[in-house]
A = this chain, B = another copy of it.
Amino acid sequence: MNLAKMQAVMSRRFDGLSVHGIGFTDFAILYLIHQAPGGRLRRTDLAEKAGLTASGITRMLLPMEKTGLVAREASERDARVSYAVLTPAGRRIFEEAKETANAIAKEILPADITRNQSLTELFKLLGTTI
């Protein structure tokens, strides 16, 4: 229950990203592509990292391709895979949204560093147990 509520509160808070015309998941996707080696990610890997299914990624990326935030790039080695890359517009929106996201994160997390630390520690913990 706490988890569901927490999740609900989190994504509600990050609604501030909508000023950039993107949602929380879109931001996550831009982030993941941005920091991937070579600035590109196979859709399958993107799905795994974002905690979605492959079909979820197809559907999320469709409007993002239409509005020109991300683009497809074929693989030279494997005709099945297509990479997701950021367009210049996508990079720009991501940088802007990152500022907003950071501001929101700072607002949510207390200034108190010890708390912040236990938070990251907690996430680490959850990462290992799941």
Contact = CB atoms under 8 A, between A and B. Distances in A.
A32 B123 CA distance: 26
Tally of this chain's copies: 2
A36 interface: no
B7 A50 contact: no
A1 B118 contact: no
Given A110-B129, A115-B125, A129-B110, A28 B51 contact: no
Main secondary structure of the interface of A (DSSP, over half): helix
Interface string A3-31: 11111111000000000000011001001
B130 A125 contact: no
A42 B48 CA distance: 39
Contact of A2 (B5, B52, B127, B129): B127
